[in-house]
Chain A
Amino acid sequence: MSENVLQVDNLQVRYGGIEAVRGISFNVKAGEIVTLIGANGAGKSSTLRAISGLVRPGGGSIIFEGEDISGKNPTHIVSKGLMMVPEGRKIFPNLTVLENLKIGAYLRKDELEEDIAKVYEYFPRLKERSWQEGGTLSGGEQQMLAVGRALMGRPKLLMMDEPSLGLAPIVVQGIFEIIKQINSAGTTVLLIEQNANMALHVAHRAYVIENGKISMEGTGAELLNDEKVRAAYLGSTNK
């Protein structure tokens, strides 16, 4: 249970001359929900992009399931069982709902029926719309589709970049409920959120990122009760 699925050491990401991530270290253990919280531009998304292989890290190591995947191509990383729900959902608007799910399993060669049924169980709305084009769905439904699509890859680690962004509070609550369900069904989750309150409530452990560095870490409950975190990310009256 305490096995590290993901271990990031001294990760650096640079865009041109700008250092977006300046030596971040954290780990995610099997079965956990870990969240990285922080303000806009703190380096959260850059961290995820480096882990998923979209950008080449400037330094440091990313050990996933015992292999250093830093600088490897996204296809290799996906094939190892790391799926990402990208920021802004990014479903394929010109593919049907069903095709969007199938494309999440692009590298798999086995039968998908069971997985599709499981996704439809999590999100019955998607089943009703399975022949509709992804672009015709509402924002919340698109987020469900993006999560379902990632699950189709049978991830050992599911990374989510701001799943609450731009969604109504009630929809956000539904999404976080599902994240908990997915986790208790055995999938390890790395969650990135600006909505610190929600994220800290579902997470087992959390890291706070400021200016490209980890400034604090602890369990979700610890950070929820921390004075500084409450002042900076939750609003002092929020509990």
Chain B
Amino acid sequence: MEYVISVLLSGISVGGQYALIAIGYTLVYGILRLINFAHGDVFMVAGLMGIYFTATLPISVSLPLVIILTVLLGFTIERAAYKPLREAPRMSVMISAIGVSYLLQNTATYVTGGQPMTYPDIPFLSSTVNVAGTHTKWVVIITPFLVLVLVFALTQLINHTKVGMAMRAVSKDFETSMLMGIRIDRVISATFVIGSALAAIGSILFFTNYPAITPTAGAMPGLKAFVAAVFGGIGSIPGAVIGAFLIGICETIIKGLPSSWDVSVFSDAFTFALLIIILVFKPQGLFGEAATDKV
């Protein structure tokens, strides 16, 4: 029983961390119809920054600095690699995104020398706590609550502020939004800023519970978060969050099955198989809109 609880707890926590990355994918897709392949690597870079900054600066300075610089990175990537291609076919932007992804990975290899780096112990988050008879890190307990608070704040922003209204308008129709006087580029930048900030927070939570960061450490969580976004219906924020929790829980359960069954090594394959099955029955994902392509 205790084992089951600990598996569930860590599944929910991993799911929450995926959710924070998945929102970045789904927001950007909602507005630009672009799958931002570099997003997982932005997440990885945020992790590395956490390691380097905490080595020399106090936690109270370095964590906000990680968030600020990750936001700056996301903003710069959009301005430098995607904005010049605004009128280009979507495929070109996607290739640009793949290019940025490799640029970030290679730069990380250059800086770290390819060595796995260990994430620092962040006081409180890394300390253990006893829940229902199992020892677990505080980060596992805090993650789902923090995710819910952030998602609530984000939906308030999108549904009840002027910039949120502009984001919803731009996601439907660039040209008419321009006729309202909306500066499209600012709205697009805002989505990258929000997505990157959430990815930075996600990286602090995720890597606290993760053995080491390598230059490709963003690829797998990024991919799973992307899957979560598709699973929930890409473009939908609640969809991405629910999809992420489901995938996190599902994956952790498979990993936690008795080792004599020999299935834990297939946990990623099972996760993706689940995605395929769901998409066969619900091609738009759980909360996706019927296919309406922008003209």
Contact = CB atoms under 8 A, between A and B. Distances in A.
A116 interface: no
Interface string A65-99: 00000000011001100011010001011110001
22 contacts: A52-B179, A53-B178, A54-B179, A74-B178, A74-B181, A75-B182, A75-B183, A78-B180, A83-B179, A84-B179, A86-B175, A90-B179, A95-B168, A95-B169, A99-B165, A103-B169, A103-B180, A103-B182, A104-B180, A106-B162, A107-B181, A153-B181
Contacts of A95: 165, 168-169
Interface residues of A, number: 23
Contacts of A106: 162, 166, 180-182
B121 interface: no
A84 B181 CA distance: 11
B2 interface: no
Interface of A: 52-54, 74-75, 78-79, 83-84, 86, 90, 92-95, 99, 102-104, 106-107, 149, 153
Nearest to A150: B179
Among B168, B171, B176, the one with the most A-chain Cβ atoms within 10 Å of its Cβ is: B176
Interface string B178-193: 1111110000000000
Contacts of A54: 175, 178-179
Contacts of B173: 90, 92
Interface of B: 162, 165-166, 168-169, 171-173, 175-176, 178-183
A93 B169 CA distance: 9
Contacts of B181: 74-75, 78-79, 106-107, 153
A78 B179 contact: yes
A54 B173 CA distance: 13
A47 to B, nearest CB: 15
Contacts, number: 54
Given A52-B179, A79-B181, A107-B181, A94 B168 contact: yes
Nearest to B292: A93
B182 A92 contact: no
B172 A94 contact: yes
Consensus secondary structure, chain B interface = helix
Among B168, B169, B172, B180, the one with the most A-chain Cβ atoms within 10 Å of its Cβ is: B180
Contacts of A53: 178
Given A99-B165, A106-B162, A106-B166, A86 B180 contact: no
Given A92-B176, A103-B182, A106-B166, 4 more contacts: A74-B178, A90-B176, A103-B180, A153-B181
A86 B179 CA distance: 8
Contacts of A79: 181
A102 to B, nearest CB: 7
Nearest to B162: A106
Contacts of B183: 75
B234 to A, nearest CB: 16
A52 B176 CA distance: 11
Contacts of A93: 172
Contacts of A75: 178, 181-183
Given A92-B169, A99-B165, A102-B165, A74 B179 contact: yes
Closest 7 pairs between A and B when the two form their complex, measured CB to CB: A78-B181, A107-B181, A74-B178, A90-B176, A106-B180, A75-B181, A92-B169
Nearest to A135: B172
Nearest to B183: A75
A107 B178 CA distance: 11
Nearest to A54: B175
Contacts of B162: 106
A74 B173 CA distance: 14
A103 B165 contact: yes
Contacts of A103: 165-166, 169, 180, 182
A78 B176 CA distance: 12
Contacts of B171: 94
Nearest to B159: A99
A119 to B, nearest CB: 15
B170 to A, nearest CB: 10
Nearest to B178: A74
B178 to A, nearest CB: 4
Contacts of A78: 179-181
Contacts of B175: 54, 86, 90
A191 B162 CA distance: 30
Nearest to A76: B181
A149 B182 CA distance: 14
A106 B173 CA distance: 15
Contacts of A86: 175-176, 179
Nearest to A134: B172
Nearest to A159: B179
Nearest to A91: B176
Nearest to B171: A94
Contacts of B166: 103, 106
